[in-house]
Amino acid sequence: MKAFSTQHGIHLPNWEFLSPAPAIVDDLAGNFGFSYVATTAGFDHLNQITLVDAEGRIVRQIYGERFNADDLAEPLKAMITGAPIPPQTSTLAELVDRVRIICSVYDPLTGKYRTNYALYFEIAGFISFMFFMGWIAWSFMRKQRKDGIQSG
């Protein structure tokens, strides 16, 4: 991260850009619920903020392209004051936003993220396949019941 920040001219006061030892990157990322995919340009990942309390417990994870004070203020205030942190709830808008973020890939030519529509088709194909398999199972069970009633 230090090399990345230098390469991209990121000089922020009070920020330290750190990277763990390469041998523990996968375990560390997994423990934080962070995922990434290796690419020819380095790697793609979701933007994620993980808030960790003084005991090292993850208390909130925030995903998105941009973060604002509202995303952080309440959980940080609760952590500082010792107040109970309300459980994180997911709304339909947050679910849609997560799918949109997952379907975004970094384009090194433009230096921006773009939507990878192939991932939407893969998700839709998986959901369609699961519905089809459910329909087959339901039809099979209905036929077995019908055959059992007729033979009994």
DSSP SS3 for 82: coil
The pLDDT score that the predictor gives to residue 12 is: 73
The pLDDT score that the predictor gives to residue 125 is: 94
The pLDDT score that the predictor gives to residue 21 is: 82
pTM for this model (two decimals): 0.48
Give the CA distances from residue 46 to residues 1, 17, 62, 107, 149, in Å, rounded to whole numbers and listed in that order: 16, 17, 10, 14, 54
Per-residue tokens: 121:
């088709």
Q: Do 64 and 44 contact (CB within 8 A), yes or no?
A: no
**In the chain, where are the structural domains located?**
2-115
Triad 28, 40, 50: Cα angle to 5°: 25
The pLDDT score that the predictor gives to residue 128 is: 96
Instruction: Give pLDDT tens digits for 121-149.
Output: 888 899 999 999 999 999 999 988 887 77
Query: Any idea which residue has 């993980």 for tokens?
Result: 50
Report the run of H or E that residue 78 belongs to, with start and end.
Answer: helix 69-81
Triad 88, 91, 93: Cα angle to 5°: 130
The pLDDT score that the predictor gives to residue 90 is: 67
The pLDDT score that the predictor gives to residue 110 is: 77
- What are the residue ranges in the chain where pLDDT is below 50? none
Q: What are phi and psi of 92, to 5 degrees?
A: -60, -40
The pLDDT score that the predictor gives to residue 151 is: 62
The pLDDT score that the predictor gives to residue 71 is: 74
The pLDDT score that the predictor gives to residue 139 is: 93
**Which among 104, 109, 95 is positioned nearest to 46, based on CA atoms?**
104
DSSP SS3 for 127: helix
